[in-house]
């Protein structure tokens, strides 16, 4: 009972909303700081940093054999990044892809994907090792206490909180990532230009963004391309946000016979991956949708050597207008959204070009300070030992006498350090007095006790003295670097120059101001055509003259024949009450015997669930009303204007359960309607008895049917007196059916 009382007393009451808010904020900050955003100092996300450090720990250097990616991923996950192997392997793969990174950090061996979006092979098949630049410029000084090490997730290992990267990697390799409520998108830049800008900032910290842009011209995408809004880059680099317009590079290659090939040799950076195949589909769609008739063939000849997409144009094509169409209608001209967000001083911050460089330079000086402090301490320690050994060599006979006369190491050491001679046997009083005056340091004494006899050789003594002089020179150099910022800046600059000379490459992306592409879409000359669809659902159009020459066979071979404009639409009514629209331009136009296209290929018409009951020109529907007749004898007249829509599919009428449309006709000169049921009943009444209703209405009953009977045929008499039809392959005069009123049972007639 007492225990339960203690539990009740320890319950903390709080608002549920407050707990949720705190928990969500903690989660959001964890994602922002520890997962999705890069650090402004080394330009790396935690998973990237851990992969590189683990490879360093495993000794997978650039000059060593490749190791299985699965080993690297497993070791990284077990020691530093317990968030699943897929995210680790993906980070490893991306760092090896030179078409995504301005400077690849990992040397991949095997299938690591390609620019066209094919993924890397499974980690058990691929191998990797560090690049030389990564080993030297990212991990080279980790043994010099230049960065803080923190416990890993289970506190069994130590990992660096940041890597001592020697240049602004955040700019060189860029970054992209989505956190909670924020995202980063930083384009890659040219290594040599970024290093030059960094040196310029070190020489003048008051330098402006505009002055820095004398060195960093703009982004340098690994895919090349052309940045077309040069004048807008300054604002982007000053604010850290904006949009960069990028075009692919197009070359024109004349061919035999007056034809021309448009060859795309570089693509916009956002196009890499699956967007290349999407780009090819978009070009094909331009031809299919009749946006252009200039394309003869498209081939993708891209390889490891680079991008090469060849578009073959017809002889009289307007090449400039076609290229402008590609810029306007496809992703050959694309936008890269810039949001230079990174972790700076422990919090996310949108930074300008200057701020990113400033954070890295500050980091470089901190690295250098810690590095040369560590080196100085080592040199001071060496100096102490070297001075002790030199001093010992000068009194080596006394040292040997102390060692021979001592009972143990501790006795000899206490004599060397404190001059305690008790218990030591000396050959003479003078030796004892001299020994009592020795005052070596602890480290010097240990070095003397561990010194080997060959060190007493003259050449060895000379080498020791020379080494001592080098140590003194190093101490002077390191103290100068630590005491004077200019000296430290010179050292950092020298390292930057070395990196630039060894690892930089020429700029790939052109920076320019380019006028917006102007594409003049060719106006289609409007003309009268005839829409044909056979009983198999194949549709096409022919011109009026071809139709008039082949009228007899046209009506014999086609189920639907509709006059229309080539710029209009065809409305297809189906038994399910749907109306599908098809652009006439989407239909093949040509000779009478040319093959058509299946109507379901260019519309939403589903051949498995519905069938066509009528086809009409949409422009004609605007002039007339429509009569709808269903299987259960529901009739109505609908204003044709209700079907003047641009949607590909609409519901044309409302149907009762188990009902379907059997006829749709434009109301022109029809005088009377005749319905025939499956049981042989006929009814004839005036069209004026059919009420006009909305397309959403069911309609009224035209004929009383027995339970299993249904309307099978619909006929019309016209004002011109035309009343003869074919029924069951026999001629039949509709006037034989008794004229009555709507909603009667009708008369049974034997044919």
Q: How far apart are the first and last CA of the chain?
A: 100
DSSP bridge pairs for 541: 531, 589
Structure token pair of residue 367: 């690295």
Backbone angles phi, psi at 339, to 5 degrees: -145, 90
Non-local CB neighbours of 593 within 8 Å, separated by 6+ positions = none
Residue 106 near residue 226 (C-beta atoms within 8 A): no
Which string of DSSP letters, residue by residue, matches 366-383?
HHHHHHHHHHHHHHHHHH
260-266 sheet: strands from edge to edge: 249-254, 260-266, 309-313, 295-300
Closest CA to 299 of 331, 261, 260: 261
Please state whether beta strands 634-639 and 625-630 pair in parallel, antiparallel, or not at all (unpaired): antiparallel
Percent of the chain that is helix, strand, coil (3-state, to 5)? 40, 25, 35
Residue reference for tokens 């003295």: 465
Buried b (16+ CB within 10 A) or exposed e, 425-439: ebeeeebbebbbebe
**How far is Cα 634 from Cα 632, in angstroms, rounded to an integer?**
6
- From the list 16, 27, 89, 125, the catalytic residue is 125
Q: d(Cα 499, Cα 359) in Å, to the nearest integer? A: 19
Distance (Å, whole) CA 682 – CA 738: 8
Smallest CA-to-CA distance from 559 within 512, 596, 601, 521 is with 596
Which residues have a Cβ under 8 Å from the Cβ of 158 and sit 6 or more positions away?
149, 150, 151, 152
CA-based Rg of the chain, rounded to a whole angstrom? 43
Tokens of 415: 């004599």
Give me the helices (H) in 330-457, please.
353-394, 396-405, 409-418, 429-436, 442-450
- For residue 355, the number of C-alpha atoms closer than 13 Å in the C-beta half-sphere is 17
Q: What is the DSSP letter of 455?
A: G
Q: Residue 12 carries which DSSP code? A: P
- Cβ of 224: how many Cβ atoms within 10 Å? 20
Residue 560: active-site member: no
Asked if 631 and 577 touch (Cβ cutoff 8 Å), the reply is: no
One-character DSSP codes across 595-610: --EEGGGSSS--TTT-
Report d(CA 345, CA 174) in Å as an integer. 19
Of the candidates 365, 475, 374, the one whose C-alpha atom is nearest the C-alpha of residue 145 is 374
d(CA 67, CA 76): 14
The 10 Å CB-count burial string (b at 16+, else e) for 600-638 is bebbebeeeebebbbbbbbbbbeebbbbbbbbbbbbbbb
Q: Annotated catalytic sites, by residue?
A: 125
């Amino acid at each position: 009972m007492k225990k339960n009382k203690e539990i009740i007393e320890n319950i903390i009451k709080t608002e549920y909303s407050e707990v949720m808010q705190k928990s969500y904020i903690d989660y959001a900050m964890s994602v922002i700081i520890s997962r999705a955003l890069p650090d402004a100092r080394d330009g790396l996300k935690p998973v990237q940093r851990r992969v590189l450090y683990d490879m360093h720990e495993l000794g997978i250097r650039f000059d060593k054999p490749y190791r299985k990616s699965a080993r690297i991923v497993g070791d990284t996950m077990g020691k530093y990044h317990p968030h699943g192997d897929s995210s680790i392997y993906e980070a490893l793969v991306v760092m090896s892809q030179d078409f995504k990174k301005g400077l690849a950090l990992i040397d991949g061996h095997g299938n690591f994907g390609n620019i066209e979006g094919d993924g890397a092979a499974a980690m058990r098949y691929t191998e990797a090792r560090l690049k030389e630049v990564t080993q030297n410029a990212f991990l080279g000084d980790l043994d010099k206490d230049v960065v803080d090490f923190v416990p890993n997730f289970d506190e069994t290992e130590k990992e660096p909180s940041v890597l001592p990267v020697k240049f602004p990697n955040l700019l060189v390799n860029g970054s992209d990532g989505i956190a909670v409520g924020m995202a980063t998108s930083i384009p890659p830049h040219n290594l040599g230009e970024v290093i030059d800008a960094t040196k310029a900032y070190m020489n003048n910290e008051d330098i402006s963004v505009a002055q820095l842009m004398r060195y960093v011209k703009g982004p340098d995408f690994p895919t090349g391309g052309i940045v077309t809004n040069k004048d807008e880059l300054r604002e982007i680099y000053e604010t850290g946000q904006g949009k960069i317009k990028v075009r692919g590079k197009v070359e024109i290659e004349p061919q035999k016979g007056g034809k021309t090939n448009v060859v795309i040799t570089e693509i916009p950076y956002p196009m890499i991956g699956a967007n290349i195949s999407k780009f090819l589909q978009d070009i094909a769609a331009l031809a299919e949708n009749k946006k252009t008739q200039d394309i003869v063939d498209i081939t993708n000849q891209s390889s490891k050597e680079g991008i090469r997409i060849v578009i073959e144009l017809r002889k009289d094509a307007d090449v400039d207008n076609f290229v402008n169409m590609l810029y306007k209608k496809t992703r050959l001209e694309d936008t890269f959204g810039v949001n230079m967000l990174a972790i700076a001083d422990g919090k996310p911050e949108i930074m300008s070009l200057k701020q990113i460089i400033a954070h890295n330079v500050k980091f470089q000086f901190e690295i250098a300070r810690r590095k040369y402090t560590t080196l100085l301490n080592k040199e001071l320690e060496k100096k102490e030992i070297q001075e002790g050994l030199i001093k010992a060599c000068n009194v080596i006979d006394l040292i040997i006498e102390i060692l021979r006369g001592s009972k143990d190491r501790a006795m000899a050491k206490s004599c060397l350090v404190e001059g305690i001679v008790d218990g030591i046997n000396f050959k003479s009083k003078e030796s004892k007095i001299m020994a009592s005056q020795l005052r070596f340091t602890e480290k010097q004494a240990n070095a003397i006790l561990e010194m080997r006899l060959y060190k007493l050789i003259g050449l060895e003594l000379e080498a020791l003295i020379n080494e001592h002089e080098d140590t003194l020179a190093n101490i002077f150099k390191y103290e100068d670097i630590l005491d004077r910022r200019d000296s430290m800046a010179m050292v950092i600059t020298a390292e930057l120059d070395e990196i630039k000379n060894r690892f930089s490459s020429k700029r790939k992306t052109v920076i320019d101001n380019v006028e917006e592409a102007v594409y003049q879409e060719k106006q289609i000359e409007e003309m009268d055509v005839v829409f044909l669809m056979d009983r198999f659902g194949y549709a096409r159009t022919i011109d009026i003259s071809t139709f008039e020459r082949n009228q007899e066979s046209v009506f014999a071979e086609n189920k639907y024949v509709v006059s229309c404009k080539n710029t209009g639409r065809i409305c297809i009514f189906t038994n399910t009450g749907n109306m599908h629209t098809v652009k006439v331009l989407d239909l093949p136009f040509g000779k009478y015997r040319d093959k058509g296209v299946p109507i379901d290929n260019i519309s939403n018409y589903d051949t498995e669930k519905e069938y066509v009951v009528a086809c009409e020109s949409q422009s004609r529907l605007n002039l007339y009303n429509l009569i709808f007749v269903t299987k259960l004898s529901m009739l109505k007249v609908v204003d044709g204007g209700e079907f003047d829509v641009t949607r590909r599919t609409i519901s044309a009428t409302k149907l009762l359960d188990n009902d379907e449309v059997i006829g749709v006709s434009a109301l022109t000169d029809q005088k009377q309607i005749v319905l025939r049921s499956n049981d042989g009943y006929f009814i004839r009444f005036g069209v004026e008895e059919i009420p006009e209703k909305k397309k959403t209405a069911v309609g009224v009953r035209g004929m009383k049917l027995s339970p299993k009977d249904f309307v099978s045929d619909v006929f019309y008499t016209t004002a011109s007196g035309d009343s003869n039809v074919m029924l069951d392959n026999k001629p039949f005069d509709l006037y034989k059916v008794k004229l009555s009123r709507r909603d009667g049972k009708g008369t049974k007639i034997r044919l």
